[in-house]
Structure 1
Amino acid sequence: MVGTAIFERQNRAVAGIAHMLFGMLILTGMDVLVKVIVQADFHPIQILFVRGWIVLAIMFAVLPWFGGLPALKPVRPYALVVRGAIGFLAPFSFFTALKTVPLADATVVFFAAPLLMTGLSPFVLKEKVGPYRWGAVVVGFVGVVIAVNPSTSGMNPMLFMVFLALLAYTALALMGRWLGDTETTFRLVFYFNLGILVVSSVLVAFVWKPISIEAFGALIAISVMALVGHVLLTKAFIMAPLSIVSPFEYSSLLWAAVLGYLVFGDVPPETVWIGGAIIAASGMFILYREARLARRPKVEPPPA
Structure 2
Amino acid sequence: MTTDTMHQWGRGALFITASSLLFSIMGILIKLVSVDLPNEMLVFSRNAMALVLVAPFMFREPSSLLSTKCLHIHLIRATFGLLAMYCFFYSLSLMPLAEATTFYFTFPLFSPLVARIWLKEPLAPGSIWGLSLGFLGVILISKPENLLQGGASLIGISSGLFTAVAQGSIRRLAREESTIRIVFFFCLIATTASAGPILPTWQTPQSGLWLALLSIGILAVAGQTLLAKAYTIAPVSFLAPFVYLSIGVSVFFDWYLWGQLPDFMTFSGMICIIAAGVWMLRQKNKKQ
TM-score normalised by structure 1 residue count: 0.88
Letter in 2 for 1:245: L
Instruction: Specify the SS of the correspondent of 1:206.
Output: coil
Q: CA deviation at 1:152?
A: 6.3
Query: Using a 3 Å threshold, how does the CA distance of structure 1 residues 69 and 49 change in structure 2: closer, same or farther?
Result: farther
Q: Which residue of 2 aligns with 1:282?
A: 276
Q: Is 1:221 the equivalent of 2:183?
A: no
**Amino acid in structure 1 at the alignment position of 2:245:** S
1:59 equivalent in structure 2: 54
Match of 2:166 in 1: 172
Matched, 1:38 2:34: yes
Equivalent residue runs for 1:92-131 within 5 Å: 92-131=86-125
RMSD: 2.1
**Would you say the 8 A contact 1:88–1:195 is kept in 2?**
no
- CA distance in 1 between counterparts of 2:284 and 2:28 reads 33
Instruction: Kindly state the Cα deviation for residue 20 of structure 1 after the two structures are TM-superposed.
Output: 0.6
Give the C-alpha shift of residue 68 in structure 1. 6.4
CA distance in 2, matches of 1:212, 1:223: 17
Paired letter, 2:137: G
CA–CA separation in structure 1 for the residues paired with 2:79 and 2:263: 35
TM-aligned CA distance change 1:50 to 1:293, over 3 Å: closer
Letter in 1 for 2:19: G
Tell me if structure 1 keeps the 8 A contact 2:77–2:166: yes
For 1:124 and 1:228, the matched residues in 2 are separated by 30
Q: Contact between 1:93 and 1:165, CA under 8 Å: does it hold in 2?
A: yes
Find 1:12's aligned residue among 8, 15, 18: 8
Q: How does 1:1-304 map to 2 (within 5 A)?
A: 6-40=2-36, 42-64=37-59, 66-67=60-61, 70=64, 72-151=66-145, 157-294=151-288
Preserved CA contact (<8 Å) 2:106 2:161: no
* CA pair 130-15 structure 1, distance change in 2 beyond 3 A: closer
Contact 1:90/1:169 (8 A) holds in 2: yes
For residues 217 and 68 of structure 1, the distance between their equivalents in structure 2, rounded to whole angstroms, comes to: 35
Q: Structure 1: how far apart are the matches of 2:145 and 2:155?
A: 18
Distance 2:267 2:160 in 1: 19
- The structural deviation recorded for 1:265 is 2.3
CA shift at 1:83, angstroms? 2.3
* 1: CA distance, partners of 2:140 / 2:243: 20
1:132–1:52 Cα change, 3 Å? closer
Which protein has the larger Cα radius of gyration, Structure 1 or Structure 2?
1
Give the drift of 1:267: 1.4
The unaligned stretches of length 5 or more in structure 1 are: 295-304
Alpha-carbon deviation of 1:81?
2.1
* Bigger mean CA offset, 20-29 vs 44-53: 44-53
Q: Structure 2 length normalisation: TM-score?
A: 0.93
Note the C-alpha offset of 1:226.
0.3
Cα distance in 1 between the residues matched to 2:10 and 2:158: 35
2: CA distance between counterparts of 1:253 and 1:188? 27
- Once the 2 structures are TM-superposed, how far is the Cα of residue 79 of structure 1 from its aligned partner? 2.2
Q: What per-residue deviation string (whole Å, max 9, x for no partner) do you get for residues 118-176 of structure 1? A: 122211111111451122212211111112222469x8832221122222211111111
TM-superposed CA distance for 1:285, in Å, is: 2.1
How many residues matched? 288
The Cα of 1:72 is off from its aligned counterpart by 4.3
**Equivalents in 2 of 1:80, 1:221: separation in Å?**
26
Alpha carbons 2:92, 2:100 under 8 Å: kept: yes
1:84 Cα deviation from its structure 2 partner: 1.6
SS of residue paired to 1:98: helix
Q: Which runs of 5+ in 2 are unaligned?
A: none
The alpha-carbon deviation at position 53 of structure 1 amounts to 2.3
8 Å CA contact retained: 1:63, 1:69: no
Q: Partners in 2 of 1:75 and 1:97 — Cα distance?
A: 35
**Residues 33, 91 of structure 1: alpha-carbon distance in 2 compared, 3 angstrom cutoff:** same
Does the CA-based 8 Å contact 1:27-1:229 persist in structure 2?
A: yes
Question: C-alpha displacement at 1:278, in angstroms?
Answer: 1.4
Kept after mapping to 2: 8 A contact 1:23/1:233: yes
Deviation at 1:101, TM superposition (A): 0.8
| Shift of residue 76, structure 1, vs aligned partner | 1.0
